[in-house]
Amino acid sequence: MGLALLAHANLPLKFWAEAFISSIHIINVLPSPIIQGDTPHHKLFRTTPNYAHFKVFGCACYPNIRSYNTRKFVFRSQCCLFLGYSLHHAGYICLTADGKTIIFRNVIFNETHFPYNAQTHPFAVSSGDTLLTVPSTHSLTVVSFHAPPAAPPTASPAATASIPASTTTNVHSMVTCAKVGTHKPKVYLTSLPDVPHIPSSVKTALVSPLWSTVMQDEYNALLSNNTWTLTTPPPNASLVVCKWVFKTKLNADGSFRRCKARLVAKGFHQTHRLDYAETFSLVVRHTTIHLVLAHDVTSGWPVRQVDVYNAFLNGDLSEGVYMQQPPGFVYANPHLVCQLHKAIYGLKQAPHSWFLKLSHTLHTLGFTPTKSDTSLFVRFTPSHTLLILLILVYVDDILITGSSLSAITTLISNLNSCFALKDLGDLHHFLGIQVTRTSTGDMHLSQSQYFRELLHKTTMVSSNSQPTPMISIVRLQQNSSIAFHDPTLYRSVVGTL
C-alpha cells in the first residue's frame, strides 16, 4: 500500500517513511475480516473512526498560515505537498517548497494535482530539514524545531575573555533615560516572611500538626463532594497514581496567608481515548484583562474577585477512571481503589470538565461568551438604565465587574449556591499582579511580589539590575556552554517569565 501511494503521487522512495505511516493509519480504520469486520481503531478506542478527514497522499495542499505572517502583504498560503496525518496533533503534515514540514489543521486540498516534479523537485528534503509545527486558530499544537547540532565555534582565550567584558555596557545607538542619567532604575527587595516549611514527603507531613490538619481538611472535602467510590477494580483497568502537593499561600503584600495541601492525580499515566478525550480549557487572555480593567477605570465600575474552592472537583467525569487510595489515608481494604466521579487536579480531562460545568452554569444565569474571547462572559439586562455584567474566567480565578454593585453582589450569591467559593472582595491580586486603587480612582498594577518570589526561587536576590533586559550585541550559540544542571528549574523559570 505504501508503494502504491508513492507511485500514484509520483514520489521517490525517500518519502517511503511518510507513505508507510499513512498506510498504517489507513489500515487501522478499515474493516478487517480477522476481527469479524470490525476496525482496529474501534476495537482499541471504542469509537467509530471518522473518514471525512482522509485526503489523497502526495496531492497539493494549501495551509492557512495568515496569522503567522510577519507582514500583511505576505501570501496567506502556499502550495505544499501533503505527506500524511500527524500522530500527536489534530492536523495534516504539509511539506513546503523550502523543505519545512508544517503540521496544520486548516488546510485546503487539490486532490487531483500532484505538485512533486522529479526533474526540478522543489520539495526536495535533505537530512537537515526543519520540522515546524504551526498551530491554527482553532487547534492546540506545539511549535518545535529539529535540526542537526551545529559544531561549537572555536575562539581564542583572549576572544573568549572579551565576551563578558563587552556585555557589561549597552552600546546600542538608542538614547535612553539610563544613558543620559535622568533616571536611575532601582529594584527594591525585601525578604520573604517566615512561612511554615514545606514538607518533603507525606510521612513528614503526617507527623506535623499543621500539615496533617490541612491534609485531613482536603481529604474531608473530597469525601463530602462525593469525589469517588471505593470499589474493586475491573480486570485490565488502568490505575492512576496520586500524590500530595504542599504549598504555602501568601497575601498580595507578601505576608503569610495559609498552608494548602492538594491531592493530585498523576495524569501522565492516562491513555488518550481510553481514559480521556478532550483536555483543553480556555482561559481569558491578558489583553482582555487589561482592556476590561481600563474600561472599569474610565467608567468607575467596581471589580470583585472570587475564588472557587477545589474548582476541578465540580467537573463531572464521563469516563471510567480508577485511582489508588490517597497516600496516608488508606482506611478501607488496601486492595480497593477509588472510582472517580469528579475530576480532580492532575487528570488530563479535569480542566475541560470544570470549564464545561462553569460555562453551563453561567449560561443558565443568562451569560454568553464573547466571540473575541470565549472566557469573557457578558450579560445585558435592558431596563431604564442598561445593566451590564462581565465575568472573566482564568481556571478557578474569576473577576466580576459591571455597572451595578448590587447586581454583582447578587451574582456572587447565585454562584455561591452552585459552587463553594470565597468572595475575595475588591480586586487586589490576580494572576501574580498586585492591583491597587488610588484615591483618584486610578488603578495601579504591579508585579513586585511576583518578582521577589522569582528572585528567591532562582537565588538571584543579590544580583545587580541592568538598564535593559538583554544586551543587544550578545550572540547566543547552541553549544556555547554546558547544559544547565536542573532542566526542570530552567523550564519553570522560562515559563514564569
Least confident range of 56-70, 106-120, 189-203, 477-491: 189-203
Number of domains the chain contains:
2
Does residue 314 contact residue 419 with C-beta atoms inside 8 Å?
yes
For residues 348-358, give the mean pLDDT: 84
Q: Are residues 215 and 360 in the same domain?
A: yes
Look at residue 155 and tell me if it is in a domain: no
- Are 325 and 230 contained in the same domain? yes
Asked if residue 183 belongs to a domain, the reply is no
* Cα 322 from Cα 231, distance rounded (Å): 9
Q: Are residues 238 and 353 in the same domain?
A: yes
Query: Is the domain of 396 the same as that of 251?
Result: yes
Q: Which residue, 258, 261, 265, is CA-closest to 199?
A: 261
- Mean pLDDT over 448-470 rounds to 84
Residues 265, 222: contact at Cβ < 8 Å?
no
Three-state DSSP at 490 gives: helix
For the ranges 105-119, 187-201, 457-471, the lowest mean pLDDT is seen at: 187-201
245 and 371 fall within a common domain? yes
| 92 occurs within a structural domain | yes
Q: Domain boundary at 453, 468, 483, which?
A: 453
Q: Output the pLDDT for position 165.
A: 37
Q: Which phi and psi (to 5°) does residue 483 adopt?
A: -65, 145
Q: Average pLDDT of 387-396? A: 88
**What pLDDT score was predicted for residue 121?**
58
pLDDT at 47 over 80: yes
Residues 228 and 375 in one domain: yes
Please indicate, yes or no, whether residues 255 and 399 belong to a single structural domain of this protein: yes
In the chain, pLDDT over 70 holds for what percent of residues?
82
pLDDT in tens, 249-267: 877 666 778 888 888 888 7
Residue 225: predicted pLDDT: 80
More confident residue, 195 or 226: 226
In a domain, 181, yes or no: no
Q: Is the pLDDT of residue 67 over 80?
A: no
- Boundary-marking domain end, from 108, 133, 158: 133
Which of 133, 151, 181 is the last residue before a domain boundary?
A: 133
pTM for this model (two decimals): 0.55
pLDDT tens for residues 290-306? 899 999 899 889 999 99
Q: Is residue 172 part of a domain?
A: no
**Per the domain annotation, does 76 fall within a domain?**
yes
Within this chain, do residues 127 and 206 fall inside the same structural domain, yes or no?
Answer: no
Q: What is the pLDDT of residue 175?
A: 56
Q: Where do the H-state alpha helices sit in 333-401?
A: 350-364
First to last CA, the chain: 49
User: Among 468, 461, 497, 496, which Cα is nearest to 189's?
Assistant: 461
Q: Same domain for 247 and 376?
A: yes
Q: Has residue 173 been placed in a domain?
A: no
Residue-wise pLDDT for 158-211, tens only, equals 433 333 433 445 555 555 555 555 444 444 444 445 677 888 888 888 888 889
Identify the domain containing residue 217 by its residue range: 202-453
Whether residue 233 is contained in a domain is answered as yes
Mean pLDDT (the chain) is 79
- CB neighbourhood size of 406 (10 A): 9
Query: Around Cβ 482, how many Cβ atoms within 10 Å?
Result: 6
Does residue 128 sit in the same domain as residue 220?
no
Distance CA 483, CA 494 (A): 15
Question: How many CA atoms, within 13 angstroms, populate the side-chain half-sphere of residue 493?
Answer: 13
Answer yes or no: do 298 and 440 share one domain.
Answer: yes
Stretch among 226-230, 259-263, 463-467 having the lowest mean pLDDT: 463-467
Cell matching residue 268 = 501522565
Range scoring the smallest mean pLDDT among 74-83, 308-317, 396-405: 308-317
CB under 8 Å to 312, separation ≥6 — which residues? 342, 343, 344, 345, 347, 350, 351, 353, 354, 396
Lookup: cell for 56: 489523497
Q: Is residue 89 located within the same domain as residue 224?
A: no
Confidence of residue 316 (pLDDT cuts 50, 70, 90): confident
- Cα–Cα distance, 236 to 253 (Å, whole number): 51
